[in-house]
Amino acid sequence: MSFGLYSIGFAIVIGGLIYAAYLVHMPGHWIGVCAAVLLGIGILTGVKATRQKDPVG
């Protein structure tokens, strides 16, 4: 799976969670903090899931 496709899917998930937090009246600064943390987690897991394995030998 390509990193771009993984990133788009994770961005959709983050967008849904931000919208849900807005609907439950979470303060805006906490929504921003949570979005930044989720973005970092998404980048780390995306790189881990899509990187090529190192050749042996």
DSSP-assigned letters across all residues of 1-57: --HHHHHHHHHHHHHHHHHHHHHTT--HHHHHHHHHHHHHHHHHHHHHHHPPPPPP-
Instruction: Calculate what percentage of the chain has a pLDDT beyond 90.
Output: 56
Distances (CA, A) of 30 to 6, 22, 25, 51, 54: 25, 10, 11, 32, 39
Q: Compute the mean pLDDT over every residue in the chain, rounded to the nearest whole number.
A: 89
pLDDT tens, 8-27? 999 999 999 999 999 999 99
